[in-house]
Amino acid sequence: MSFNDQFADKYVYISGGTSGIGLAVAKKFSALGANIFAFSVDQEEQRNLALAEMAEAKIHDTQQFKAITLDITDNKLVDKELSKACKEFGPPFVIVNSAGIGGAISFEQLSLQRFDKTVKLNLYGTRHVIHSCLPYMKEQGGYIVNVASMSGLIGLYGYTAYSSSKFAVVGLTHSLRSELKPYNISVSVLCPVQVETPLLRETDKYKPPETKAINNKAGVMTADEVAQGMLKGMKQNKAVIIPGIKGNFFYLLNRVFPNIREKMTERIITKTRNALALNK
């Protein structure tokens, strides 16, 4: 059986699965014959649009698609809804933890409430989903992909909350990869650069100019490109999946020559601040 063929008739669970990266991933798996269970905090209209896009990508009429509202920061609710789904919809062969919150702000302006919200959604939400579904996955094996970010590998200006949560997701992934191997469950973390999503468009409005300038050097990927890169990384059983050439370049540079990467970042910050000072 080929890598792609194994997903036919299997169940794929995707948090944040009705928009952005999550929806792009859902459409990829739909095109491989999988059944999709998506959950998010998106409004009903967006969920219905997402379901229509998933169904449009299907390859046979027996595929199933469902999308529900679920706040993954609520552990009891996650347990209730996902346990129910595992029994009634089908046990997940793939879990993709795509739900998350972004945004950049200087540490001095970062409130405890915002820091707490970011960690609860990005880290605890990922934990809750895996913990609820794991008993149903262990019998058949499968894949877990946690969506982090390049900012989960390289801490950047303005991302004290976001990077903290995503670095934690990377650590969670590495530990789970070792623990779940005996159950034939492969665990990977997806770390893209900026991705063109509704979340990015919203957070770009409030980013510090220094953060914007750094982000722009790494470029922007489409959600479809990230989803395709994720599948490629899963096929290669990579622990850390970095889609795109630029992302891999900056990651390698930071691993091999961290001082050079840091000086490059400092130059971008200085140049941006000088430009701002001249425009005052």
What is the per-residue pLDDT for 207? Answer: 85
- Model confidence band, residue 206 (pLDDT cutoffs 50, 70, 90): confident
What is the per-residue pLDDT for 278? Answer: 82
Q: What is the mean pLDDT of the chain?
A: 94
Percent of the chain with pLDDT over 70: 97
Location of structure tokens 């590495």: 174
Q: Say what the pTM is.
A: 0.94
State the CATH class of domain 4-279.
Answer: alpha beta
Residue 67 or 218, more confident: 67
What is the per-residue pLDDT for 7? Answer: 97
**Quick check: 198 pLDDT over 80?**
no
What is the per-residue pLDDT for 277? Answer: 79
Q: pLDDT, tens digit, for every residue of 64-103? A: 999 999 999 999 999 999 999 999 999 999 999 999 998 8
Query: How many H helices and E strands in the chain?
Result: 11, 9
Domain boundaries, the chain: 4-279
CA proximity to 180, closest of 228, 155, 204, 145: 145
- Model confidence band, residue 183 (pLDDT cutoffs 50, 70, 90): very high
Q: What kind and span of H or E run contains 94? A: strand 92-97
Strand 194-196 and strand 92-97: pairing?
unpaired
Percent of the chain with pLDDT over 90: 84
Measure the CA dihedral 11/15/21/25, to 10°: 0
CB burial string 177-213: b at 16+ within 10 A, e below: beebeeeebbbbbbbbbbbebebbeebeeebbebbeb
What is the per-residue pLDDT for 257? Answer: 92
Retrieve residue 18's tokens.
Answer: 């009705």
Cα separation, 198 vs 213, whole angstroms: 19
**Quick check: 204 pLDDT over 80?**
no
What is the per-residue pLDDT for 23? Answer: 97
CA–centroid distance for 178 within its chain: 20
Cα separation, 26 vs 57, whole angstroms: 9
What is the per-residue pLDDT for 199? Answer: 67
Those residues with Cβ within 8 angstroms of residue 216's Cβ, 6 or more apart along the chain or in another chain: none
Q: pLDDT, tens digit, for every residue of 116-162? A: 999 999 999 999 999 999 999 998 999 999 999 999 999 999 999 99
